[in-house]
Amino acid sequence: MTPQQTLKQIKKLTEALVGLSLSNEQNFPATHGKINAAFEITVSTAARMSVALKNVAYRDIYGELEKARCFNIKMLDGALISLRYRFRDKVICEHSLSYFPSPDLEHFQNEPEIYLEDEIYADVIDRNIVPFPIRFDFSDDPEKFVDIHHPYSHLTLGQYENCRIPVCSPIGPLAFGGFILRNFYNTAFRKYSDKIPMTTLAFPNTITANERKIPHVVCGV
């Protein structure tokens, strides 16, 4: 995938979620640099994203990101979706794709009969749900790579410092959006699946032979 294709996918994902009334707040992507050299796709408030790596309570992390509007998409249930990509000479060199669910779902869970008929809330009204952040990271930096222990592309669940589940390749915006919708908004995903944009475009595989021997994430298109 090229920088232009990646940027187009972010815009398509954002427009689709807004059009389906699954999102009520959004920041369209900002770009920095030159396509043929160093190029970044992010949001204008991305500098505040570093709070997500601090050793503070998740509620505080979420609150600061929300206050700074450090997201591409805010879902109706309060979840924040952020996508950042970096390219070097038109080749992807880094990405960080994050999903930060709202830490406070009591408003929905205390009055489930109000929200049960609305697809966006159908998967968050149960009281046994525990919100936790999800992040797909990729870096082509060989200094950071350690086979199995720090894959080029990996999935982090929660804020566990050493949780790095190998992923077969960098993840495109539409693949990431589909993953979030399918797993955390499944009722809405099934209803609107024909209106959610898909793609056959993908980034090249980066997973190693050793990483394939342990549980890992295989990405579709």
Q: List the one residue out of 25, 60, 33, 32 whose CA is nearest residue 46.
A: 32
Is the pLDDT assigned to residue 221 strictly greater than 50? no
* 48 three-state secondary structure: helix
Q: Tell me the mean pLDDT in the region 193-215.
A: 92
pLDDT score recorded for residue 30: 92
Q: What percent of the chain has pLDDT over 70?
A: 85
The three-class DSSP label of residue 35 is coil
**What are the sequence ranges of the domains in the chain?**
3-132+168-203
Threshold 0.85, pTM exceeds: yes
Taking the C-alpha atoms of residue 41 and residue 14, their distance in angstroms, rounded to an integer, is 14
Distance set, CA 130 to CA 63, 102, 105 (Å)? 17, 10, 9
49-106 pLDDT tens trace? 666 567 788 999 999 999 999 999 999 889 999 999 999 999 999 999 999 999 887 6
